[in-house]
Amino acid sequence: MRPADPIILAIYLVCIALALSKIVSSFNDEYTVSLDDDSLKQQLTDQNLEDIIGIGFDFEKRYEFGKDDKLRQFGVKVTNKSQTHSIYIDWDYCATTDLQGRSRRVTRLVPGTTLDLFQNQVFSTVASGATLKEVITAEDVLKRKEPSDKDSAVALEMEVSKPLLDFEALKKSKDDPPKKKYARFVARIDPLEFSLDLALRLIGSTYSAEGDRIQLRCKFILKKLPWYAGVPWNPKD
């Protein structure tokens, strides 16, 4: 063995290790979102609403917490299980939080909407035995759509311009708690959370004529997936 051979071998192994590290890092950015069912069920039980209201959400099976994060909006489903009550959803009284717990106004996404964000949102009605499905996001991720023609009315249309959750802000925070939360999330030690406060009004024989407003906090749990979950040949289910 030549004197230089161990050095060459060491450099080769370091290069291989760096290459493998970059490969792992490129796949190490996926997470799932799930509803805290137990918390929501307990709230419905405490308010004797389990036989009246059903709530569900539509999320993708997985997301990436990078610049191309696809979690920009999500679906909400409200079912009226009762035959004697009507349910109203007061969107202007709903709020969602970000990863640091900051409250944000909820906006219901209506295709082609040109409404000013400062205007009040019309409430939605869920008839007896029916299910309402809507798509929502936070107000601060919306902006006016860039027009293809300066004279086109499409300039008034709203679009979702960025991800709903800002992982970079958590990562680069000057405060220790957010930084530690992000580090523990990436290390798969602790999950991250955000929430939706859903404001509903119930009208029926046991409620007032205008409806009694109730607030339900829906908590969502974000869990980071292991790096190998992102490899192309791994099932995405």
Q: Is the pLDDT of residue 34 over 80?
A: yes
Say how many C-beta atoms besides its own lie within 10 A of residue 73's C-beta.
17
User: Does the residue 8 lie in any domain?
Assistant: no
User: Does the residue 88 lie in any domain?
Assistant: yes
**Across 85-89, 104-108, 182-186, 204-208, least confident range:** 204-208
Q: What rounded mean pLDDT belongs to the chain?
A: 83
**114 vs 99 pLDDT, higher one:** 99
User: Does the residue 191 lie in any domain?
Assistant: yes
* pLDDT recorded at residue 103: 96
Q: Please state, in angstroms and rounded to a whole number, the distance separating the CA atoms of residues 28 and 12.
A: 24
User: Does the residue 231 lie in any domain?
Assistant: no
Q: Give the CATH number, domain containing residue 79.
A: 2.60.40.2550
Q: Is the pLDDT of residue 221 over 70?
A: yes
> Domain range for residue 102?
30-225
User: Does the residue 198 lie in any domain?
Assistant: yes
Q: Is the pLDDT of residue 16 over 60?
A: no
* pLDDT recorded at residue 120: 83
- In a 13 Å sphere around the CA of 179, the CA atoms on its Cβ side amount to 5
Number of domains in the chain: 1
User: pTM value?
Assistant: 0.82
Assign 110 a pLDDT band (cuts: 50, 70, 90): confident
User: Does the residue 16 lie in any domain?
Assistant: no
- In a 13 Å sphere around the CA of 55, the CA atoms on its Cβ side amount to 25
User: Does the residue 11 lie in any domain?
Assistant: no
Q: What is the CA radius of gyration of the chain?
A: 23
Assign 115 a pLDDT band (cuts: 50, 70, 90): low
Q: Which parts of 63-191 are beta strand (E)?
A: 63-64, 74-80, 86-89, 95-97, 103-108, 124-126, 131-138, 142-144, 158-160
Q: Is the pLDDT of residue 21 over 80?
A: no
* pLDDT recorded at residue 116: 61
Q: What is the mean pLDDT of residues 133-144?
A: 92
User: Does the residue 25 lie in any domain?
Assistant: no
